[in-house]
Amino acid sequence: MSESFRKEVIGNCELWLGDCMKILPLLSDVDVTFTSPPYNMGLVPGGNGRGMYRPGARNKGGRFRDGYGIHSDALPQEEYDAWQRDCLRLMYKFSRLAVFYNHRPRVEHGKIRVPLSFDYGIPLRQIIIWDRGTGIDVNLRAFCTRQEWVMLFAKPEFALCDHSSSGRGDVWRFPPEFNRTGHPAPFPVSLPLAAIESVADAETILDPFMGSGTTGVACVKLGRRFIGIEIEERYFDIACRRIEEAYRQPDFFVSPPETKPEQLILVQEAPNER
């Protein structure tokens, strides 16, 4: 069955609008993936331990009640986990060196839920703690979650640039993104920048859950090639704009794109696997 996908080329960045599970098999291999998928935050525990519900508009997590446009972010947990395992499998398959996968643990009904229940289907090398310094789940039943995880799924060819990169350690302290990007859950540019610049021979970077384009902005800062995929057109357009603006920043050492963004409509078969 044929499908159309919109693609924008901005400098050394290639941005695709569509479902990453359908677009990934159409792309060439990359060196490293850095991504942060939806966390399934459209459901929160409630009902005195009896269920999961959409948060109220005034709830601390209320900004997630409507999901991310076309994606509701409120899947049954088993369905969500199966979907994310399939995504991870594809990311790992098409990444020559490693996948950096940002997610978070959460307390539900008095017990911790870790991302995908530690069942990833691919080898996990390390968990890097992103210390955000703050959190939103302050309550009397558990300590507030101020950390997120950046899980590193590395292949045998993976190596860091030098010993100072290793000396960065496995606890990274960056505040959350406070600038409004138009996306409900952006991460700071410093997070993907720290990961990408630490990996030897990481020239082409993929983010299949691109959101507002933060990983792409980090790649512009580092002079790397970027491939981003986003299913929601509103965020896709924001990502295009942010990446264009990143190229125009005078403190970036990379040259601005010689041509304006190019819009292509590609019609191709999307096989299940390459």
pLDDT of the residue at 274: 35
pLDDT of the residue at 252: 43
pLDDT of the residue at 47: 52
DSSP string for residues in the chain: -EEEEEEEEETTEEEEES-HHHHGGGSPPEEEEEE-----TT-EEETTTTEEEPPPTTSTTGGGTTTBTTB-S---HHHHHHHHHHHHHHHHHHEEEEEEEEE--EEETTEEE-GGGG--SS---EEEEEE-S--S---SSS----EEEEEEEE-TT--BSSHHHHTT-SEEE-PPP-S--SSSS---THHHHHHHHHBTT--EEEESS-TTTHHHHHHHHHT-EEEEEES-HHHHHHHHHHHHHHHH-TT--SPPPSS--EEEEEEEE--S--
pLDDT of the residue at 269: 43
Question: CB atoms < 10 A from the CB of 117, how many?
Answer: 10
The structure's pTM equals 0.84
pLDDT of the residue at 73: 62
28-48 pLDDT, tens digit each: 999 999 999 998 876 665 555
pLDDT of the residue at 209: 97
pLDDT of the residue at 208: 98
What is the bridge-based pairing of β-strands 126-131 and 171-173?
parallel
pLDDT of the residue at 10: 97
pLDDT of the residue at 2: 64
CA distance 243 to 216: 6
191-230 pLDDT, tens digit each: 999 999 999 999 999 999 999 999 999 999 999 999 999 9
CA distance 265 to 57: 38
pLDDT of the residue at 273: 39
pLDDT of the residue at 114: 92
| Domain 8-40+75-229+247-269, CATH number (from 3.40.630.30, 3.40.50.720, 3.40.50.150, 3.30.365.10) | 3.40.50.150
pLDDT of the residue at 66: 60
Domain ranges of the chain: 8-40+75-229+247-269
User: Which ranges of the chain have pLDDT less than 70?
Assistant: 1-2, 42-74, 183-184, 250-274
36 by Cβ neighbours in 10 Å (0-12 / 13-18 / 19+) ranks as buried
Phi, psi dihedral angles at 197 (to 5 degrees): -70, -15
